[in-house]
Each structure stands twice: as structure tokens, then as C-alpha cells.
Amino acid sequence: MRFKLAVLPGDGIGPDVIAEAVKVLEAVAGRFGHSFDMSYGPVGGAAIDETGTALPGDVLKMCRRADAVLLGAVGGPKWDDPQAKVRPEDGLLALRKGLGLFANLRPVKAFPVLVDSTNLKPEVIRGVDFIFVRELTGGLYFGRPKRQWRTSRGRRAVDSMVYSEQEIERIVRVGFELARRRKKKLISVDKANVLESSRLWRQVATEVAAEYPDVELEHMLIDACSMRIIQNPRYLDVLVTENTFGDIVTDEASMLAGSMGMLPSASLAGVPREGVKIPGMYEPIHGSAPRRAGLDMANPIATILSVAMMLRYSFALPGEAAAVEAAVDAVLDEGYRTYDIMDEGKTRVGTKEMGNLIAGKVEG
């Protein structure tokens, strides 16, 4: 099969990890007889330097024409001035909105070989395997009004947590669809004891549940959820929540996996269903780590696992996705580690060698 791919390496270690993910994708192409047409474009700080905007119009167009987008990372101290008119993160938000990527999937898995190298007790971490579905194009990130102004009594600012029932319905549906294919348990996370938008969220989630009688729905408050993530993460399977809550708790949850360098993500423009190809954007959950850029240090696994998610959700190639995931497991089992997951008695490798090893396993 033939697929069109937009590749946006971005800033910092973005280009480092993207190069390895592309290697792995080429290995998939070779072994399974697919072809991936890749076009590259700048986003984030790289785009600001080149064009003055964080997402040039022709790059957005290229992404719209593609079957999927592969993104590295954006941002860095160079563009961090709070007074700046344009920020690298604007590029990411414009991509999410411009491509209609309302569903952000963030799987959190404790790799057996890494349970001893996290900051938490191995007996709490072992066997952790859940997935957060984060709403990505609504809530505080995009709600209006959103501004800062001066009054006679000083400065004021407002952000708005706005949700329509349609926005809630489609994201909750993503949660139910995933739950149906896993343990048939969905946790909807909100702050319904305080927030009006959460009360609507809870009502709509309960209404959609009627269409999924095979899935058990539980409501959980966001504060209790963030406690549960540390206290008993094995309790969790599929969770769905709004944009800002999801942003915060997925960073927290990433610590269960040992390193942010291990966690992939998918941002989808539709509800994932078996055998259906959905346009999407795939990126590691970590940032641009500017101090590590170009040093052949960064862990490319999160980006490589993002490629596996792309194969699964945008290309409907579950076998190929599983081959990539198995290759990552095999290389970890053999004891290879980048600096962020290095442990006694293991073999330390750089970004490129890690990519070569995984691509080699995919080739078989």
C-alpha cells in the first residue's frame, strides 16, 4: 500500500528522534512492501526563524493532504520570551485545530524491563497499562473570551473553559470505542462538583453510555484521579477527560513508564474503529529538550512507538504496528538503553544506534 506522510521534525531533539522513526518506517516499508511518500516542513521555532510564523500556510496544506503527520517536538529557550508575538507552541495548537485533531490518545505502559528504574515502587508499577483519551481542541486552550486587559484596579485576565455537547459526545465516544476493545471499563474524569462544563460533560457521558451497554462507565473527579494514578495505577484502563485536565495528568502518568522518552501519542480527527483509517498526527509526549539536541543522546523510542500508533490508526495496519512494538521490546530485552533509562549492567547507546537496532529487528 501507498501512504502520504507529512514529517515535521520541529525543534531541539525533534530532528534527532524523527530521523530514527523514519528509519523504522522505512524498515516497515521494506519488510511489508508498503511505500511511504514523505514530505518535510518546518513547524514551531524552526518555522518562526524561517518564515516568522509557527505554522506556515503551505505546511498546514501539506499536512491536510497527507494521510498522517509525524511530528518531533516544538519549543526552546530561544523563543520563550513571554512578550513574544508568536510562540512555537502556537504552531502545535494551530495544527491540532486546523486538522480537527480532537482526540489525543496517550497510552501509559510500564515496561517490565524498566519497573525498577522509576521513582515509584516496582510493586505499584508492575503491570500498569492504561490509556488516556484527552480532548484536544476545546476547553481552556481555545475557549473565548481569552485575553488580558487593564482596569483602574489593575490588570485582569480570562480564559474560558467552554464545551458544547457535540464536542463532549465525540470524545467520550472515542473512550467507549477503546474501552470496548480492552477491559470494557471507561473512567470519565471531570470536576463536576465545581465546574459547570464538567456537569455537562458528566451528563453527556452518561447519555452516550446508553449506546454502550457492554462497557461499564465510572465517573471520577480529576483530583481523585491524579491521586489514583500514583496510589493504584493498575486500577485504570481507559480514561477520558477534557483538554487541560488531560495535559496535566498525562505528564504525571508518564512517570509510571520510567521516562517521558518512552511514551507515544496519537491525535486523531475521528473515532477509531476496527479497520478504519483516520487522519492523525503522531508525536512523542516529551518536549524538545534543547540541551540534548544534536548530541545523539535523546531516546527515540517514544517517537518510534508513535509510528506504531500511526500504522494502527491512520493506516489500519495492526500487524505492522505490532511488529514495531515487538522490535522495541526485543531491543530493551537485550539490555540496550539510552541515557534516560540507563541502569546498572545495561548497554548504553545513543539515539542513532537505538534507531538502528530497532529498525534491524523490524527487518527481521
Which residues does the annotation mark as catalytic? 141, 191, 223, 247, 251
CB of 31 to ligand IPM, least distance (A): 31
CA atoms within 13 A on the CB side of 24: 36
DSSP string, 8-31: EEESTTHHHHHHHHHHHHHHHHHH
Contacted by 159, from ligand IPM, Mg ion, none: CB < 5 to 8 Å by type = none
CB of 92 to ligand IPM, least distance (A): 5
DSSP secondary-structure letter at 199?
Answer: H
Residue 257 burial class via C-beta count within 10 angstroms: exposed 0-12, middle 13-18, buried 19 and up: buried
Question: For residues 41 and 44, which CB has a smaller minimum distance to ligand IPM in the complex?
Answer: 44
Q: Alpha-carbon distance 146 to 175, whole Å?
A: 29
Question: For residues 173 and 286, which CB has a smaller minimum distance to ligand IPM in the complex?
Answer: 286
Contacted by 317, from ligand IPM, Mg ion, none: CB < 5 to 8 Å by type = none
98's enclosing H/E stretch is helix 88-98
Taking CB under 5 A as the binding criterion, the range among 77-85, 205-213, 225-233, 246-254 that sits at the site for Mg ion is 246-254
Q: What cell was used for 8?
A: 515535521
Question: For residues 241 and 332, which CB has a smaller minimum distance to Mg ion in the complex?
Answer: 241
CB of 193 to ligand IPM, least distance (A): 24
The residues that touch ligand IPM, with contacts defined as CB under 6 A, are 89, 92, 247
CB of 266 to ligand IPM, least distance (A): 12
CB of 89 to ligand IPM, least distance (A): 4
Contacted by 92, from Mg ion, ligand IPM, none: CB < 5 to 8 Å by type = ligand IPM
Question: For residues 10 and 355, which CB has a smaller minimum distance to ligand IPM in the complex?
Answer: 10
Q: What cell was used for 284?
A: 512523542
Question: For residues 92 and 321, which CB has a smaller minimum distance to ligand IPM in the complex?
Answer: 92
- Calculate the dihedral angle through the C-alpha atoms of 202, 207, 211, 215, rounding to the nearest 10 degrees: 30
Beta bridge partners of 308: none
CA separation, residue 270 to residues 5, 11, 189, 202, 281 (Å): 18, 28, 20, 21, 12
The CB-nearest residue to ligand IPM is 89
Q: Which of 247, 296, 329, 353 binds Mg ion (CB under 5 A)?
A: 247
